[in-house]
Structures are given as structure tokens and as C-alpha cells.
Amino acid sequence: MRHAYFRREGRLYHPDRTARGPWNPDQQSGLAVQGVLVHAIETTPSAAPMRIARLTVDFLGAVLMRPTEARVRILRDGEGLQTVEASLWVEGEMAATATGLRVSRGEDPPASSPPLSYPDPEAAPRVPVTKYFDAGHPLETRVIRKAGAEGGPGVFWSRFNSVFLEGEPNSPVTRACMAADIASAPAAPPALKGWRNPNADLSLYLAREPRGDWLLCAAHTDVAAEGFAVLRSTLADADGVFGYGRQTLMLSPARPPA
């Protein structure tokens, strides 16, 4: 039986053990943090039905495995556009923020992006993006290819096989965040072997919400000087491209345990 990542009581989100991150068992994962921020933004009252078109998340520090409070502030409130700022607080300290641009839902235009020319998830190797995302992790991943020295992208499929918030359906935007957030591993070029590359932020631009269970991510890492890099990803589903992601990666040499 799968446990939900969080149980909600008012503005408080209580994390389950499945919300833990890979670096420290007392800290929430980036997947968990982004999902709570998305939920806080998506449940903000609006004049008309809306969806997130742009999302920017900033991690301010470690988010402990404690009851997490979500606070929201409406920066712009109109009939067609709404800008919402959300923040997460743990034990009186602000740990993460996000800004969401929401747009009113309208009719789909006749044009759309064609599907990307990669194997379907059923035909993709059952290889996770890292050992952390093995067969027991709720986020199932299948790597089609890793970034190579020739400059090609890292490409993988992902599917979330659990419940994020107890008693509520999983948000398509949360699943898009999950796919984009973990792209740094398969998108790391051989030159970054032996380097840690955690992301300090995540930005998504969504032309539409993703459809279906499986999401495709094709990502490139542009290595810069002074210990930073930029990751850019293309997000798609079986119907075609639905959005793009950007991340700032902090590079540091990986040191073996003492």
C-alpha cells in the first residue's frame, strides 16, 4: 500500500516518510517541497477557473521533516491573470518560496506540438535516473539515454505511482515538477562525473497541463564558470511538448566519506 506524501490539516502539511529526500532522512525532498507549493497556489481562490502557466520555485534552505505551513499572498488578481506567491514555513522559519502565474482556462487552439521522436515508456529500458529512484520509489523512471560528450540531451520517462496529498487527486503540475526536478542526473555530461549538482531553484513554463501518466523529459546541462551551471529541459507527453524547465545547478566536487 502506498502512503501519501502528505496529510493536510488546514494550512499545515504533515509529511510522511516517503517525503524524505536522498541527502538527509530528516529533510524533505525537492519533489515534496515543490508539490506543497503547487498545491497552495492551485487552491488559491480566483475569479475564474485557472491553471498555472509559469512557476518559479526557490529553495531557501533545508525543509525539515516537520509539519509544514503554507502561506499565500495574491500579488495580482484579475479575471484572466492571477499572480500568487506561496511560502513554506517550518518551526517559524521560511524554507522555500514560489511564484505562480495563473491564466484563465479557454479553448484550445487548432495547432499543437507534435510528439517527440523517442521510444514509448513501454519500450524504454527499466533503468532509473539514479539508484535512489529504484523499483521501490514512488516516482518510476526509465532512462532512454544519458547526456554524452557530443552534447546530446539526457532523456527519460517518469510516472508517479503514489498519492501526493491524502484524499486528493495528483496535480498534473506537481508531476511536471517531479520530472523536471530530477533531470540533472541523466543530463549531466561526462565532464561532470565526480561532481555534485543540486539545484537551487526550478522554473517551469507550461503551454498546457500534461496528459496521461507518463511524462518525458529531454534535458541539457550548460556548464558555466564559478561553480554553477544551467539545466534546460523540454517536457512532453504522448501528445507532444507541453512545457519547458530551467534550473540553476550548484557544482561542487563530490568528496568520499571520511
- The structural domains of the chain, with segments of one domain joined by +, span 1-105, 118-258
d(CA 103, CA 52): 6
Neighbour tally for 109: CB within 10 Å: 7
Grid cell, residue 46, equals 480566483
pLDDT (mean) for 81-100? 97
Residue 83 has pLDDT above 70, yes or no: yes
Residue 113: pLDDT over 90: no
pLDDT at 116: 81
| Positive or negative: CA dihedral 161, 164, 99, 107 | positive
Q: How much is the pLDDT for 115?
A: 76
Phi-psi region of 194 (alpha: psi -120 to 50; beta: other; left: phi over 0): left
Judged against a pLDDT cut of 60, whether residue 258 lies above it is answered with: no
256, 66, 31, 50: which is closest to 164 by C-alpha?
A: 31
User: All 3 cell numbers of residue 86?
Assistant: 506561496
The pTM of this model reads: 0.92
pLDDT bin (cut points 50, 70, 90) of residue 256 is: low
pLDDT score recorded for residue 2: 66
Fold agreement between 1-105 and 118-258: yes
* Residue 111's pLDDT band (cuts 50, 70, 90): low
Comparing 257 with 218, the larger pLDDT belongs to 218
Supply the Cα-derived Rg of the chain in whole angstroms.
18
Does the pLDDT value for residue 37 go beyond 80? yes
pLDDT in the model for residue 148: 83
Burial of 12 (0-12, 13-18, 19+ CB in 10 A): middle
Give 69's pLDDT tier (boundaries 50, 70, 90).
Answer: very high
118-258: CATH homologous superfamily?
Answer: Hotdog Thioesterase (3.10.129.10)
Q: Does domain 1-105 have CATH number 3.40.50.10470?
A: no
